[in-house]
Structure 1
Amino acid sequence: MQKQAIYWLKAQKQAIYWLSAAAIFLALLYTVSGVLLPFVLGAAIAYLLDPVADRMERWGIGRVWAVSIISLVGVLLFTIGLLILVPTLINQALQLVNTVPSLVEQLTNWARDSFPELSDEQSQMRQTLNTTLTNIGNAIQSRGGELIGGLVGSAMSVVSIAMVLFIAPVVAFYLLLDWDRMVRHVDDLIPLPRRAEVRRIFAEIDQTLSAFIRGQGLVCVVLGVFYAVTLMLAGLNFGLVIGFGAGMISFIPYVGTLVGGVAAIGLALYQFWGDWLHVAIIVAIFLIGQFLEGNVLVPKLMGGSVGLHPVWLIFAISVFGALFGFVGMLVAVPVAAIIGVLIRFGLQKYKEGPMYRGPSNML
């Protein structure tokens, strides 16, 4: 009994310590969330690119030169995307929003012409339905541009665009340059009796983050490019924005394919009505994309399961987004991964402890 009491006192002290640390972290994050965006982006970029810099070092390139080359290539790709891709995406998104009322009107006319057998007694129902659809279309048109602008503005309202564009790359450059040194300093501060255990936890956290962020990021980019290019080649209006959007939300299994597929197939039915070959091509594109995601991209780029359930991700993104805005959405996935690893570690310790095994069966 004395051994069990001592064990629980230690466990209680550790729980209080870590809960206090988590509360302080969340309080600091909430307090300074207004200026964190460029630093969070810079840290994320440095974390993502550190394996590339390490590999270049193994090729015999110095760390400074490796980071400089990576930075120049990154700036070049970002500039190309900013000048070519982003304006096209925004333009197609605004066109899609402005086209919704006419789509609704033509859909209503098609329904009236295709089903003339509806009796006069149902005319009021049809009128109500038409009015409702028209109001929805007008609301989307009037609020759609505002919504898109709000999404962009919410991301940029944390700090000015200049700070994000200039400070984030600078932060990423210096963090990437000193990444290995910072890791060694942190490792040196770990208490010696717990160093092996803490290293194992950090290794699992890094493996989870690496598999999910780097792997799933590549999966989203590849799927976004695949959907956008194939939908445009198939002749679908707004194929670029629908395909790119479907790829970017594919970090939640099946959601990207479902949302993008419904939108694309719905537009295809409207645009190619009667030309069932084109509609079948659009359906086939998303079936092929889902097959590639599940059987090629995820196994090759992410390996096995990373232990992050989609519901847990949705919950984390929703909570952190509501509490901390855009910055919270950026840190939601890493924090969710860390919490998942710590919960698994805590469950392992629980199963090794006296409450689960009994005081006489402690390892």
Structure 2
Amino acid sequence: MNLRNQVLVWIGFFLVLILLLWVFRGILLPFVVGSALAYLLNPIVNQLQRWKIGRAWGTALVLLGVVAIVVSIFVMLLPLVIQQVIGLIQRLPGYAADLQALARRWAPELNQWLGPERAAQVERSVSDLLGQMVGLVGVVTTEIVNSSITVISVIGFVIVTPVVAFYLLLDWDGMVRGLHGLLPRRHKAEILGIFRDIDSSMAGVIRGQGGVLLIDAAYYATALSLIGLNFGLAVGLIAGLLSFIPFVGFGFGFTLSVGIAIVQFWPNWWMVAAVAGIFLVWQFIEGNILYPKLVGSSININPVWLMFALLAFGTLFGFLGLLLAVPLAAIGGVLVRYGVRKYKASSLYLGPGRGTGTSDVTLD
């Protein structure tokens, strides 16, 4: 197969994949989450197999343990989280009005420091930002209320997801062997190398970045609650769970927390600084310790392209698109880097007679 045909095959494959995702987007969520859960738990089940525990028993034990942990967390935290989220939504317009009132109180000092023109510009910017935040919360609330998430769909998700994960875990080795058996023998080693790179990227996305996200949520929720910030648990969880979008989780949590702290603790600037420090110190720890240790360079995607993928897939597929954006972007990155390596080894790049073959480069 020459280079042109290979490119056409891969382009056709991705177009068909996108089409199928779009057609079945309404029912794919439990299957996507179940597949991710199976991929995440497979190393644990493999370890249990090495300890002479049968695959079926190991799968059942691991899934029951995960379900027990999730149910316990929901029972303990869900009522409090819902109460705080509703309270935050109801209180947010009041916080915006209080901040505007404080800004008007600071107006004489701002006039003296910045001059009347710049002070008026700062006040307008703050008012616009607060208005946009209140509007965004209103839009999100309306979307949630008007969404198609019904009691039946939630029950279906809760039931289908563990079932999908169970059967995928049970037959994981068989699926891998079947996939290996379908690979063309001539190019099997090279294709398996690509799959290993994809597996490394998926490990970074699902295991590494997922771990960072959960640690972020736990840290922000705990730290803001301990410092006594109003709705600290809700704000911390939202900021942590949004951290899979580069800079969005930090920016949202920092802005909202500092705004609430100014209203709540005024004129105690030390408390406001402490709230800001919770985010700034953790951002440094995450960027220099957590992320390199848990994720490393396995994803290797520029944050700009990552944000583009999240926005594009989110627009096309909604919430499902947000879940799929990072894994698909990671897979795309692996394939693009492979294509670049093949191109640079070809005579198309090096010149006639200097590459690994003619311009019609094959996989070998």
Q: CA deviation at 1:210?
A: 0.4
C-alpha offsets along residues 178-205 of structure 1, whole Å, 9 cap, x if unaligned?
Answer: 1121011101110100100000000000
User: Does 31-40 or 167-176 show the bigger shift?
Assistant: 31-40
Q: Tell me what 2:307 maps to.
A: 314
Q: Percent identity?
A: 42
1:358 to 346, 351, 354: 351
Against the structure 1 CA distance between its residues 251 and 34, is the aligned structure 2 distance closer, same or farther, given a 3 Å change threshold? closer
2:250 is the counterpart of 1:257? yes
What is the distance in 1 between the residues matched to 2:305 and 2:151?
26
Q: CA deviation at 1:78?
A: 1.8
User: What secondary structure does 1:359 align onto?
Assistant: coil
Q: How many residues align?
A: 347
Q: CA deviation at 1:345?
A: 0.6
Q: Tell me what 1:13 maps to.
A: 5
Q: CA deviation at 1:218?
A: 0.4
Residue type of the alignment partner of 1:240 = L
Q: Tell me what 1:300 maps to.
A: 293
Instruction: Map 1:72-87 to 2 at 5 A.
Output: 72-87=64-79
User: Does 340-349 or 77-86 show the bigger shift?
Assistant: 77-86
Against the structure 1 CA distance between its residues 148 and 202, is the aligned structure 2 distance closer, same or farther, given a 3 Å change threshold? same
- What CA RMSD, in Å, does the superposition of the two structures yield over aligned residues? 2.9
Against the structure 1 CA distance between its residues 255 and 291, is the aligned structure 2 distance closer, same or farther, given a 3 Å change threshold? same
Q: CA deviation at 1:151?
A: 3.6
Contact kept, 8 Å, 2:245 with 2:310, in 1: the verdict is no
User: What secondary structure does 2:342 align onto?
Assistant: helix
Contact kept, 8 Å, 2:254 with 2:279, in 1: the verdict is yes
Against the structure 1 CA distance between its residues 357 and 159, is the aligned structure 2 distance closer, same or farther, given a 3 Å change threshold? farther
2:323 is the counterpart of 1:323? no
Contact kept, 8 Å, 2:205 with 2:327, in 1: the verdict is no
Against the structure 1 CA distance between its residues 292 and 58, is the aligned structure 2 distance closer, same or farther, given a 3 Å change threshold? farther
Q: Tell me what 1:53 maps to.
A: 45
Instruction: Map 1:196-345 to 2 at 5 A.
Output: 196-345=189-338
TM-score for both structures, normalised by structure 1: 0.86
Q: Tell me what 1:140 maps to.
A: 134
User: Does 317-326 or 85-94 show the bigger shift?
Assistant: 85-94
2:31 is the counterpart of 1:39? yes
Contact kept, 8 Å, 2:99 with 2:259, in 1: the verdict is no
Residue type of the alignment partner of 1:62 = G
User: What secondary structure does 1:250 align onto?
Assistant: helix
Contact kept, 8 Å, 1:209 with 1:334, in 2: the verdict is yes
User: What secondary structure does 1:213 align onto?
Assistant: helix
Q: Tell me what 2:176 maps to.
A: 183
Q: Tell me what 1:156 maps to.
A: 149
Contact kept, 8 Å, 2:45 with 2:55, in 1: the verdict is yes
Q: CA deviation at 1:308?
A: 1.6
What is the distance in 1 between the residues matched to 2:309 and 2:173?
29
What is the distance in 2 between the residues matched to 1:312 and 1:92?
34
Contact kept, 8 Å, 1:94 with 1:145, in 2: the verdict is no
Q: CA deviation at 1:100?
A: 2.1
Residue type of the alignment partner of 1:319 = A
Q: CA deviation at 1:135?
A: 12
Q: Tell me what 1:92 maps to.
A: 84
Against the structure 1 CA distance between its residues 154 and 354, is the aligned structure 2 distance closer, same or farther, given a 3 Å change threshold? farther
Q: CA deviation at 1:171?
A: 0.6
Q: CA deviation at 1:247?
A: 1.6
Contact kept, 8 Å, 1:101 with 1:134, in 2: the verdict is no
Residue type of the alignment partner of 1:239 = G
Against the structure 1 CA distance between its residues 344 and 116, is the aligned structure 2 distance closer, same or farther, given a 3 Å change threshold? closer
What is the distance in 2 between the residues matched to 1:101 and 1:322?
28
Against the structure 1 CA distance between its residues 140 and 291, is the aligned structure 2 distance closer, same or farther, given a 3 Å change threshold? closer
User: What secondary structure does 2:33 align onto?
Assistant: helix
Contact kept, 8 Å, 1:104 with 1:134, in 2: the verdict is no
What is the distance in 2 between the residues matched to 1:302 and 1:328?
22
C-alpha offsets along residues 34-69 of structure 1, whole Å, 9 cap, x if unaligned?
Answer: 211111111111111111211222233221121111
Against the structure 1 CA distance between its residues 257 and 28, is the aligned structure 2 distance closer, same or farther, given a 3 Å change threshold? closer
Against the structure 1 CA distance between its residues 304 and 353, is the aligned structure 2 distance closer, same or farther, given a 3 Å change threshold? same
What is the distance in 2 between the residues matched to 1:138 and 1:306?
33
